[in-house]
Every structure is written in C-alpha cells, then in structure tokens.
Amino acid sequence: MVGAIEIKNLRNIKKLRFEVPDRGVWLLTAGNGAGKTSLLACIRRIGYPNAFPIHFPNSLKSSRLDNHSEGSVTYEINGNSVEYAYRGERWTPRPRSNAHLLDRFGYPSVTYMGATGDRITPRPEDFEPRLVRAASRDIVSSANRIFDTQKFNNLRTVNLARGVGNDAFVLSVGSNPSTYHSEKHFILGELCVLKLLKLINSVQNNSMIIVDELEMALHPKAQVRLLEYLNEQAAQKRLTVIFSTHSVTLLKVADRKRIIYLDRQDDGEIKPIVGCYPTYAIGNISYDEETIPDGVGYVEDVFAKDIVSAFLDQFLDEKFPDPSVRPTIKVLPVGGFKEVVSFLDQNRSVLPSTCRQQALLDGDVSQETLVAWRANHNPRLAKFDRLAGHIAYLPWAPEVGMMNFIVGNLAGVEIALRTRFRDNQIRLGASVAGFDSTLAGSALRRSAKDAVERVIEYLCQRMGRTPDAVQDDLCREFAKASWQHYRPDLIPILVRLTG
C-alpha cells in the first residue's frame, strides 16, 4: 500500500477511507454527492500545499457560511499519520512534527489537470515571431494520434515577454508571411489535451497526475485514444494517474481492475470499490435516459435468451472489434411468441426511437404457425404484418439448432466443452442418444429439449455447478463452435437489431 487518506465530516463526506493506488492509470468515478471532487482535492494536497484553500475556501463574510470546522483529513503512511483540520484561519497539521509525512508518499510532484478553458492569448506587444519554436515532436505525434488528424504538424510554441516560462501554443496557418492562430482558436478538448501532453512530456518519473473530467470535452473515440496514451506513458515513466470521469465510454474500455467507484452507503459512509464492474458503475452514475440500451431483442424464453446473447456476442466481436463503438444490446425473455409480439407492440411507444427493438422468434413460428395462419386467414396475422419490420425469425427453434449441430459435430463439441470445463472425461454420447432428428414439428422440438436437459444435467453433475451457469456456458460454446456454420442465416437478423 502506498498510503491512505481518511476524510471525515467534510462537505458531503461523513467518512471515506481511500487507499492511494500504486503506479498506473486509475479511473475514479462516483454518483453525484459521493465526494469525488473533495477526495481529489485531498489527494492533491499530498504534493500541493495550497490544495485546501483552493478547494475548501471558507467564507470571508460569515463563520456560518462554508465552515469546515468539523472536517478533518488524515494521511497515513508506514504506520504513521498526520491530521489536517481547519482551525480558525487555516488548515493545520496535528501533530505538526508529522507534517513531513506527505513527502513519504514518494511523488516528486502532484499535478492537477481539469477541463478548464483558460487560454493564453498573446497581445501584439508580447508576440515576437522570431520567438516561435516548433512544438515537441512527442506532443505533436501524440496529439495527432489522439485526435486522428495531421493538423498538429503545424503546432508551435511561443514564449511571451510578459512571463518567464509563460509559453503558449500557436498553430501555423501561413508562411508568406508567417501567420498563426492563438489558443483562442483551439477547441476546448484540443487545448486540454495539449496541456496534458505538455505536462506529461516534462513531468518527472514517479509523479502523480490528477485528471478531473477532462474527457467531457472530447469525442468518445478521442477519449479511448487518450486513455491508451496515458497507459503507455504511465508504464514508461512509472506515473500514478488518477482520472476522474463519468464517461460511459471510458468505463467500458478500461481494465476493470483499475476502476474505482465511490459507493455511498445508507449511513452516509462512502466506500471505494476497487475493481468495480463497469456495468455497476455505469448503472449508478448514469441518468435514466443514459441507461437505455442501443437495442433490445425480445425472445420467447430463457434458453432463447442465452442462445441469442451468445450469437450476438460472436457477431458484435466480429463487426465491432473496437469496444468503444460497440452498441449495448439487451435480450429479454418475454413468453410465448404471441406475448412477445404484443409486448413489442406496446413497448415501441415507451422507448425512444434511437433504441432499436426487435422480436426474435423461434423458427417454427414462421415455418409452421404463420404458414397455417395464412392458409386459414387468421386475423392475428394483421398485427404480425404491421410489425413485420420489427420481427425476425431464428433459423430454428434454439434447442433444435443446438442438438442438430452437436449430433453432427459431436467430437468437436466435446473437445470444446472439455477445454471450457477443464475436464477431459466429458462424453455427451449417452445424453444426446435419445435425440431423433427425423421427427418433425412439435415432436422434434420436444425431443431436442429433452436432449438439451440431459446434457445440462450431466454437466451439472460433473462440474458441481448450477443449471443456469452450465446452460450459459453450453450456449456460448455452441455459438462459438457453430458461428461460421449458422452465420449466413443469423447475420441478417442481428444486423436489424444492432444497426
């Protein structure tokens, strides 16, 4: 452990104990009021003495306004501690003799970067073209990479006469005579990233950088490329980067082990969850409209859900290798096929038009039921015809599709299951022996369901796992093994769901 910070009775925080993470890039996220901003200020204080006055200013007009007299921040390292509290006019350490403990956290510098629009615009009397210099090659190449452009090849810096080291970015736009765009012509995201690149380019090894919601000014693809860059730089320079974010994109693509979610408890205490699952964090930080998926598929039962979800993952992995642009699709079991269509009809007006909705019905509905309905002029066909653009049909009843493939590729399926379950003794022959592929209609479906149940029961006994878990694994192995075989039939269906 590098060290720990314990915050009590400060703003919205009743109590929060935070273990400062080791080197690398860490995403820090939380819902509103969970104390994320206050925590960042306390982390910043490790290397910046003015952090408390800047982030926790007391009112100069009344002792009853913005009073932090009940708050305390304790820093612990190697069994020793020092407490900071607001005592009268300033934040002071206790005991004073331990004020030096913050140096033991081991950071040569602690720098805070936020998404601010502060810009340096040279005045005519400050600007001297002869002082313009080419920007660092590392900054130029990194900026081009993050924003997927070549415009920063023309990036320059100029040191202004009104401040030692007060250099600004400019962009060369003409050479005869030389003309430039100042920082006021950069969009906010570009300027924020350039400042961050400049900082990382010059910062000492083993330093800490706090990045506070900088991604708000960036396109999602640029966010992902920035995270990749930060990971590389953190590894090369042994940096600790704490990236505060609400970005769903970043939470989706980040290493789960490096997501820290501040979870507010009912008693007011805030507990950090290190290694938080992205879906948990996203579900807690997003507004209701943000949690709506990009697409919803309605199916008849849980087995169909597991099958469709497994094939959907195969399709999405193939079509969207970049996880940052991968749509979020939910598959929901509803009931019988008539109930699925009715549910679809009702729900189309509830969810926004941006959410694609499709009923994914078992193949026998189109191959048998609808054929009979059309022959008999069944009035229920009207609803199916009206919703035709939102109804798709699987190439088979799920259990039938699985059993046909298993029986026809028994040796390969057994090898795949042995690998997944790490059991070289798996044999499916006895479990599938009763499946009769020569049957038709409901008799075929019943035979397939019985065989699937036997396979799941057999695997449960060998693995000592629940039927739900085994069924999910079985469906995923089936989809993986048979994707190329069923791909031509399934792609048109899944394209309609994902766009």
Quote the CA–CA distance of 28 and 35 in Å, as a whole number. 11
Quote the CA–CA distance of 108 and 36 in Å, as a whole number. 24
- Which residue from 178, 177, 189 is spatially nearest to 154, judged by alpha carbons? 178
- pLDDT category, 183, cuts 50, 70, 90? confident
Check whether 121 has a pLDDT greater than 70: no
How many residues can be counted in the chain? 499
pLDDT (tens digit per residue) in 405-433: 999 999 999 999 999 888 999 999 999 99
pLDDT (tens digit per residue) in 186-233: 777 788 899 999 999 999 999 999 998 887 778 888 999 999 999 999
Quote the CA–CA distance of 386 and 108 in Å, as a whole number. 68
- Which residue from 443, 472, 444 is spatially nearest to 456, judged by alpha carbons? 472
Quote the CA–CA distance of 64 and 67 in Å, as a whole number. 6
Strand 80-87 versus strand 90-94 pairing type? antiparallel
Q: What angle do CA 156, 158, 162 make, to 5 degrees?
A: 160
pLDDT of res. 126? 62
Neighbour count for residue 382 (Cβ, 10 Å): 9
pLDDT of res. 340? 87
The answer to whether 252 and 245 are in contact (CB under 8 A) is no
pLDDT of res. 77? 94
pLDDT of res. 161? 57
For residue 21, cis peptide bond before it (omega within 30 degrees of 0): no
Query: Which of the 8 DSSP states describes residue 423?
Result: -
pLDDT (tens digit per residue) in 341-399: 987 887 777 677 788 999 999 999 999 999 999 999 999 999 999 999 999 999 999 99
Location of structure tokens 């900054």:
139
Q: At what angle do helices 410-421 and 441-463 cross, to 10 degrees?
A: 30
pLDDT of res. 290? 47
Location of structure tokens 């991604």:
215
241 phi, psi to nearest 5 deg: -115, 115
Q: Which amino acid is at 271?
A: K
* More confident: 243 or 86: 243
> Of 34-38, 87-91, 150-154, which gets the smallest average pLDDT?
87-91
Chain centroid to CA 490: how far?
27
**339: Cβ–Cβ under 8 A, 6 or more apart, which residues?**
none
Q: What is the 3-state secondary structure (H, E, C) of 195-233?
A: HHHHHHHHCCCCCEEEEECHHHHCCHHHHHHHHHHHHHH
pLDDT of res. 61? 39
pLDDT (tens digit per residue) in 240-257: 999 999 888 899 899 999
DSSP, collapsed to helix, strand or coil, labels residue 321 as coil
DSSP state letters, 285-300: HS-GGGGS-SEEEEES
Quote the CA–CA distance of 149 and 147 in Å, as a whole number. 6
Check whether 32 has a pLDDT greater than 60: yes
pLDDT of res. 87? 72
Q: Which amino acid is at 324?
A: S
Quote the CA–CA distance of 89 and 300 in Å, as a whole number. 67
pLDDT of res. 162? 52
- pLDDT category, 159, cuts 50, 70, 90? confident
The answer to whether 260 and 21 are in contact (CB under 8 A) is yes
Question: Averaged over 477-487, what is the pLDDT?
Answer: 93
- pLDDT category, 280, cuts 50, 70, 90? confident
Q: What angle do CA 324, 325, 327 make, to 5 degrees?
A: 110
Separation in Å, CA 310 to CA 231, 301, 307, 316, 333: 31, 14, 5, 10, 14
Reading the block at residue 111, the tokens are: 């720098």
DSSP, collapsed to helix, strand or coil, labels residue 9 as strand
pLDDT (tens digit per residue) in 47-72: 998 888 888 876 443 344 345 678 89
Check whether 140 has a pLDDT greater than 70: yes
pLDDT of res. 125? 60
Check whether 288 has a pLDDT greater than 70: no
pLDDT of res. 117? 53
Q: Which domains does the chain carry? A: 3-115+205-285 (3.40.50.300), 129-185 (no CATH), 292-498 (no CATH)
Quote the CA–CA distance of 245 and 228 in Å, as a whole number. 15
pLDDT of res. 291? 53
